[in-house]
Structure 1
Amino acid sequence: MVQALVRETSKTWVDICSIEAISPNTGVCALVEGQQVAIFKVGNQDEVFAISNYDPFSKAFVLSRGIIGDRKGILKVASPIYKQNFNLLTGQCLDDETVSIPTYQVRVVEGRVQVSV
Protein backbone atom coordinates (compact mmCIF):
# COMPACT_ATOMS: atom_id res chain seq x y z
CA MET A 1 0.00 0.00 0.00
CA VAL A 2 1.20 3.48 -0.85
CA GLN A 3 1.42 6.32 1.64
CA ALA A 4 2.48 9.14 -0.71
CA LEU A 5 -0.08 11.93 -0.98
CA VAL A 6 -0.46 14.71 -3.52
CA ARG A 7 -2.57 17.76 -2.56
CA GLU A 8 -4.62 19.51 -5.23
CA THR A 9 -7.48 21.96 -4.73
CA SER A 10 -8.68 20.49 -1.45
CA LYS A 11 -8.53 16.89 -2.74
CA THR A 12 -6.14 14.27 -1.50
CA TRP A 13 -4.76 12.06 -4.22
CA VAL A 14 -3.07 8.82 -3.19
CA ASP A 15 -0.36 7.46 -5.46
CA ILE A 16 -1.08 3.77 -6.10
CA CYS A 17 1.30 2.37 -8.72
CA SER A 18 2.63 2.89 -12.22
CA ILE A 19 0.10 2.44 -15.01
CA GLU A 20 2.35 -0.29 -16.44
CA ALA A 21 1.92 -2.31 -13.22
CA ILE A 22 -1.71 -2.98 -14.18
CA SER A 23 -2.12 -5.39 -17.07
CA PRO A 24 -4.67 -4.41 -19.72
CA ASN A 25 -8.26 -5.41 -18.88
CA THR A 26 -7.47 -6.38 -15.29
CA GLY A 27 -7.82 -4.87 -11.85
CA VAL A 28 -5.75 -4.36 -8.73
CA CYS A 29 -6.77 -3.66 -5.16
CA ALA A 30 -5.38 -0.77 -3.12
CA LEU A 31 -6.04 0.39 0.42
CA VAL A 32 -6.89 4.10 0.14
CA GLU A 33 -7.57 5.96 3.37
CA GLY A 34 -8.79 2.75 5.01
CA GLN A 35 -11.01 1.67 2.09
CA GLN A 36 -10.35 -1.17 -0.32
CA VAL A 37 -10.55 0.25 -3.85
CA ALA A 38 -10.59 -1.85 -7.03
CA ILE A 39 -8.72 -0.08 -9.85
CA PHE A 40 -9.20 -1.28 -13.41
CA LYS A 41 -7.20 -0.57 -16.55
CA VAL A 42 -9.33 -0.90 -19.67
CA GLY A 43 -7.56 -1.78 -22.90
CA ASN A 44 -3.96 -0.93 -23.71
CA GLN A 45 -4.39 2.76 -23.01
CA ASP A 46 -4.25 4.75 -19.78
CA GLU A 47 -8.03 4.52 -19.19
CA VAL A 48 -8.61 3.66 -15.53
CA PHE A 49 -11.65 3.30 -13.28
CA ALA A 50 -11.97 2.94 -9.51
CA ILE A 51 -14.83 1.35 -7.58
CA SER A 52 -15.27 -0.25 -4.18
CA ASN A 53 -13.64 -3.66 -3.96
CA TYR A 54 -16.58 -4.89 -1.86
CA ASP A 55 -19.13 -7.15 -3.53
CA PRO A 56 -22.41 -6.63 -1.66
CA PHE A 57 -23.84 -9.93 -2.92
CA SER A 58 -21.07 -12.25 -1.70
CA LYS A 59 -20.09 -9.88 1.13
CA ALA A 60 -16.43 -10.28 0.15
CA PHE A 61 -13.72 -7.90 -1.06
CA VAL A 62 -13.22 -9.46 -4.50
CA LEU A 63 -14.28 -7.08 -7.29
CA SER A 64 -10.68 -6.29 -8.28
CA ARG A 65 -10.49 -9.92 -9.45
CA GLY A 66 -13.59 -9.59 -11.63
CA ILE A 67 -13.84 -9.81 -15.39
CA ILE A 68 -13.99 -6.54 -17.35
CA GLY A 69 -16.34 -6.30 -20.29
CA ASP A 70 -19.26 -4.33 -21.57
CA ARG A 71 -23.01 -4.68 -21.71
CA LYS A 72 -24.67 -2.75 -24.51
CA GLY A 73 -21.73 -0.34 -24.57
CA ILE A 74 -21.53 0.12 -20.78
CA LEU A 75 -18.13 -0.72 -19.30
CA LYS A 76 -18.61 -3.17 -16.45
CA VAL A 77 -16.93 -5.66 -14.17
CA ALA A 78 -18.47 -9.02 -13.31
CA SER A 79 -17.99 -10.21 -9.75
CA PRO A 80 -15.89 -13.38 -9.59
CA ILE A 81 -18.27 -14.93 -7.02
CA TYR A 82 -21.92 -14.69 -8.13
CA LYS A 83 -21.26 -12.85 -11.42
CA GLN A 84 -23.30 -9.69 -10.78
CA ASN A 85 -22.17 -6.88 -13.09
CA PHE A 86 -21.29 -3.36 -11.95
CA ASN A 87 -21.01 -0.25 -14.13
CA LEU A 88 -17.41 0.98 -13.89
CA LEU A 89 -18.47 4.63 -14.23
CA THR A 90 -21.38 4.77 -11.80
CA GLY A 91 -21.10 1.68 -9.58
CA GLN A 92 -24.70 0.73 -10.42
CA CYS A 93 -25.40 -3.00 -10.46
CA LEU A 94 -26.61 -3.90 -13.96
CA ASP A 95 -28.44 -6.99 -12.67
CA ASP A 96 -30.26 -5.43 -9.69
CA GLU A 97 -31.13 -1.72 -9.98
CA THR A 98 -31.59 -1.44 -6.20
CA VAL A 99 -27.87 -2.05 -5.59
CA SER A 100 -24.89 0.19 -6.29
CA ILE A 101 -21.36 0.48 -4.94
CA PRO A 102 -19.15 3.54 -4.42
CA THR A 103 -16.97 4.87 -7.21
CA TYR A 104 -13.84 6.96 -6.77
CA GLN A 105 -12.02 9.59 -8.76
CA VAL A 106 -8.95 8.17 -10.45
CA ARG A 107 -6.37 9.65 -12.78
CA VAL A 108 -3.01 8.95 -14.38
CA VAL A 109 -0.33 11.60 -13.83
CA GLU A 110 3.12 11.16 -15.35
CA GLY A 111 2.51 7.42 -15.67
CA ARG A 112 1.31 7.01 -12.07
CA VAL A 113 -2.21 5.94 -11.06
CA GLN A 114 -3.71 8.14 -8.35
CA VAL A 115 -7.03 7.76 -6.48
CA SER A 116 -9.03 10.24 -4.42
CA VAL A 117 -11.66 9.11 -1.92
Structure 2
Amino acid sequence: MTVSEENRCSSMRRYQYVWSTVCAVDSLIPGRGAAVLLADDVQAALFLMPSGELYAVGNIDPFGQAAVMSRGLTGDRGGEPTVASPLLKQVFSLIDGRCLDDASRRLPVFEVRVINGNVEIGMLRSRHRNTVAA
Protein backbone atom coordinates (compact mmCIF):
# COMPACT_ATOMS: atom_id res chain seq x y z
CA MET A 1 0.00 0.00 0.00
CA THR A 2 1.40 3.40 -0.95
CA VAL A 3 1.32 6.39 1.36
CA SER A 4 -1.48 7.99 -0.69
CA GLU A 5 -3.51 4.74 -0.57
CA GLU A 6 -2.96 4.55 3.19
CA ASN A 7 -4.07 8.19 3.62
CA ARG A 8 -7.14 7.56 1.46
CA CYS A 9 -8.08 4.45 3.47
CA SER A 10 -7.56 6.36 6.71
CA SER A 11 -9.72 9.19 5.38
CA MET A 12 -12.50 6.80 4.29
CA ARG A 13 -12.64 5.26 7.79
CA ARG A 14 -13.83 8.62 9.08
CA TYR A 15 -16.96 8.32 6.95
CA GLN A 16 -19.84 5.87 6.81
CA TYR A 17 -22.59 5.47 4.24
CA VAL A 18 -26.09 6.64 5.07
CA TRP A 19 -28.48 4.66 2.85
CA SER A 20 -31.91 5.88 1.73
CA THR A 21 -34.44 3.49 0.22
CA VAL A 22 -35.89 5.42 -2.72
CA CYS A 23 -38.07 3.08 -4.82
CA ALA A 24 -38.66 -0.42 -6.10
CA VAL A 25 -36.29 -1.27 -8.94
CA ASP A 26 -39.35 -2.48 -10.94
CA SER A 27 -40.78 1.06 -10.93
CA LEU A 28 -37.88 2.47 -12.97
CA ILE A 29 -38.03 2.82 -16.75
CA PRO A 30 -34.78 2.01 -18.61
CA GLY A 31 -33.22 5.11 -20.13
CA ARG A 32 -35.32 7.50 -18.02
CA GLY A 33 -34.47 9.33 -14.81
CA ALA A 34 -36.31 9.66 -11.52
CA ALA A 35 -35.92 12.49 -9.01
CA VAL A 36 -35.49 11.20 -5.46
CA LEU A 37 -35.04 12.82 -2.06
CA LEU A 38 -32.26 11.51 0.19
CA ALA A 39 -31.23 12.14 3.78
CA ASP A 40 -30.76 15.78 4.75
CA ASP A 41 -33.06 16.85 1.87
CA VAL A 42 -30.40 16.12 -0.75
CA GLN A 43 -31.88 15.71 -4.23
CA ALA A 44 -30.59 12.99 -6.54
CA ALA A 45 -31.34 11.89 -10.09
CA LEU A 46 -31.57 8.09 -10.39
CA PHE A 47 -31.09 6.39 -13.75
CA LEU A 48 -31.69 2.81 -14.86
CA MET A 49 -29.76 2.36 -18.07
CA PRO A 50 -30.92 -0.02 -20.83
CA SER A 51 -27.95 -2.24 -19.84
CA GLY A 52 -29.55 -2.67 -16.40
CA GLU A 53 -26.95 -0.57 -14.58
CA LEU A 54 -28.10 1.96 -11.98
CA TYR A 55 -26.52 5.38 -11.46
CA ALA A 56 -27.30 8.27 -9.12
CA VAL A 57 -26.02 11.83 -9.44
CA GLY A 58 -27.07 15.18 -8.01
CA ASN A 59 -30.35 16.47 -9.40
CA ILE A 60 -29.30 20.15 -9.43
CA ASP A 61 -27.90 21.31 -12.80
CA PRO A 62 -24.63 23.09 -11.90
CA PHE A 63 -25.10 25.57 -14.76
CA GLY A 64 -28.78 26.50 -14.46
CA GLN A 65 -29.08 25.76 -10.71
CA ALA A 66 -32.44 24.04 -11.33
CA ALA A 67 -33.52 20.59 -10.11
CA VAL A 68 -33.77 19.06 -13.59
CA MET A 69 -31.05 16.43 -14.11
CA SER A 70 -33.54 13.59 -13.62
CA ARG A 71 -35.26 14.86 -16.79
CA GLY A 72 -32.03 14.79 -18.78
CA LEU A 73 -31.33 12.74 -21.88
CA THR A 74 -29.35 9.57 -21.21
CA GLY A 75 -26.79 8.18 -23.61
CA ASP A 76 -23.11 7.48 -23.80
CA ARG A 77 -19.97 9.11 -25.07
CA GLY A 78 -17.28 6.68 -26.10
CA GLY A 79 -18.95 3.92 -24.12
CA GLU A 80 -19.23 6.02 -20.95
CA PRO A 81 -22.84 6.38 -19.68
CA THR A 82 -23.97 10.01 -19.65
CA VAL A 83 -26.85 12.36 -18.99
CA ALA A 84 -27.35 15.66 -20.83
CA SER A 85 -28.94 18.54 -18.96
CA PRO A 86 -32.40 19.35 -20.32
CA LEU A 87 -31.61 23.06 -19.95
CA LEU A 88 -28.44 23.86 -21.88
CA LYS A 89 -27.54 20.28 -22.92
CA GLN A 90 -24.18 19.99 -21.15
CA VAL A 91 -23.24 16.30 -20.91
CA PHE A 92 -22.19 14.70 -17.61
CA SER A 93 -20.61 11.34 -16.87
CA LEU A 94 -22.84 9.09 -14.78
CA ILE A 95 -19.71 7.33 -13.53
CA ASP A 96 -17.88 10.22 -11.90
CA GLY A 97 -20.15 13.26 -12.42
CA ARG A 98 -17.69 15.34 -14.44
CA CYS A 99 -19.03 17.61 -17.14
CA LEU A 100 -17.66 16.39 -20.46
CA ASP A 101 -18.21 19.84 -22.01
CA ASP A 102 -16.74 22.03 -19.24
CA ALA A 103 -14.18 20.52 -16.85
CA SER A 104 -14.89 23.22 -14.24
CA ARG A 105 -18.28 21.71 -13.35
CA ARG A 106 -19.43 18.35 -12.02
CA LEU A 107 -22.36 16.60 -10.39
CA PRO A 108 -22.09 14.80 -7.06
CA VAL A 109 -22.19 11.02 -7.51
CA PHE A 110 -23.83 8.59 -5.09
CA GLU A 111 -23.45 4.88 -4.44
CA VAL A 112 -26.41 2.73 -5.55
CA ARG A 113 -27.42 -0.76 -4.49
CA VAL A 114 -30.48 -3.00 -4.76
CA ILE A 115 -31.63 -4.82 -1.62
CA ASN A 116 -34.67 -7.13 -1.81
CA GLY A 117 -35.87 -5.42 -4.99
CA ASN A 118 -35.57 -1.90 -3.55
CA VAL A 119 -33.10 0.71 -4.76
CA GLU A 120 -31.00 2.33 -2.05
CA ILE A 121 -28.74 5.35 -2.53
CA GLY A 122 -25.82 5.97 -0.20
CA MET A 123 -24.18 9.21 0.88
CA LEU A 124 -21.00 9.47 2.90
CA ARG A 125 -21.48 10.96 6.34
CA SER A 126 -18.73 11.97 8.73
CA ARG A 127 -18.45 9.66 11.75
CA HIS A 128 -17.38 12.64 13.85
CA ARG A 129 -19.89 15.23 12.70
CA ASN A 130 -23.38 15.13 11.27
CA THR A 131 -22.21 16.39 7.89
CA VAL A 132 -22.75 14.66 4.59
CA ALA A 133 -20.05 14.42 1.94
CA ALA A 134 -21.32 14.01 -1.62
TM-score (norm. length: structure 1) = 0.87
Question: Of 19, 23, 26, which aligns to 1:13?
Answer: 19
Q: Which amino acid aligns with 1:92?
A: R
Greater gyration radius: 2
- Report how far residue 113 of structure 1 moved: 0.4
Shift of 1:92: 0.1
Partner of 1:36: 43
Q: How many residue pairs end up in the alignment?
A: 108
After superposition, residues 68-79 of structure 1 pair within 5 angstroms as 68-79=74-85
Which deviations, in whole Å up to 9, do the C-alpha atoms of 1:49-96 show, x marking residues without a partner? 000001011110100000110011111000011000000010000000
Q: Select between 83-92 and 97-106 the one with higher mean Cα deviation.
A: 97-106
Secondary structure of the corresponding residue to residue 88 of structure 2 = coil
Structure with the higher helix share, 1 or 2: 2
Q: 2:114 aligns with which of 87, 94, 108?
A: 108
Amino acid at match of 1:49: Y
TM-score scaled by length of structure 2: 0.77
Supply the AA of the counterpart residue of 2:46. Answer: I
Deviation at 1:20, TM superposition (A): 1.0
**Secondary structure, aligned partner of 1:24:** coil
Q: Structure 1 unaligned runs (5+)?
A: 1-9
The CA RMSD over aligned residues, in Å, is: 1.4
Paired residue for 2:101, among 74, 95, 99?
95
Question: Runs (4+) of structure 1 moved beyond 6 Å?
Answer: none
Unmatched runs of 5 consecutive residues or more in structure 2: 1-15, 124-134
More strand by share: 1
Deviation at 1:110? 1.8
State the match for 2:127 in structure 1. none
Q: Percent identity?
A: 39
Instruction: Name the CA distance, whole Å, in 1 between partners of 2:45 and 2:106.
Output: 14
